[in-house]
Structure 1
Amino acid sequence: MLSFMDSYTLWRQLPFPRSGSGEGMIMAHSDLAFAEEYVTTVIRYVERGIFKPAPVDVLAFLQELMHRIDRLGDVASGGDQAVVRSQHAYAALLDLVYRHFLEAGGQGK
């Protein structure tokens, strides 16, 4: 399993995934950006030692989003399959980063 700093470094270096062509994929892309906004609270922790979790259940939101992306993958075709895999992997990485963050701050679930 990746350590907190390894997962954080990987996340910070990866480009944000593309959007797909269907409405569901566009919404998933939008929700992924929304989730990432909450995960950016981790940056303050790493750079300044400020532990302040997001005001929402980020992990539940990401889990639901990954399930939705999985369902989109069942019907996606062509290039959208690669987009679905990329979006899912990015959401999973956000989940891992945020879980490590909560554990580091003593609020692990």
Structure 2
Amino acid sequence: MELSFIDAYTLWRRVPYPPKGSTRELRDIRADLGEADEHASVVNAFVRTGVFRPSGADVLAELDNVIARADALCAEYSGSDLLAAREVHAYATLVAIVYQGFLKAGQPD
């Protein structure tokens, strides 16, 4: 079973943004996630209006970068920082699923 675009979108709109964590790396990755999340927000207009206008940014590359960095932090951290890194990873993965679904839904048949 696969998560549909609209189901992933619904989750994205409901899931809280990841916590800051206690390290500089977590704060930096969280900030980069925020930028990618903002670029992905074009999906909101698409869901409301059906107008397909992708971001000018390479959202999927931004998210891939965040996911890779979060993976590395998960291998290093423990305790609450590990949990924060996992939340960043999960949130970025969810946004990537949403944005991929958006790109697919907006393409002509």
Scaled by the length of structure 2, the TM-score of the pair is 0.94
Find the counterpart in structure 1 of residue 70 from structure 2.
Answer: 69
Aligned length: 107
Identity of aligned residues (%): 42
Give the drift of 1:50.
1.4
Q: Deviations over 1:26-80 (max 9, x none)?
A: 0001011111001110000000111100001111111111001111112112111
Describe how 1:1-109 pairs up with structure 2 within 5 A: 1-106=2-107
1:31 partner amino acid? D
Shift >6 Å, 4+ stretches: none
1:59 partner amino acid? L
* Cα distance in structure 1, aligned partners of 2:5 and 2:101: 5
1:10 partner amino acid? L
| Structure 2: stretches of 5+ with no match in the other structure | none
Q: Please, what is the CA RMSD of the aligned residues?
A: 1.0
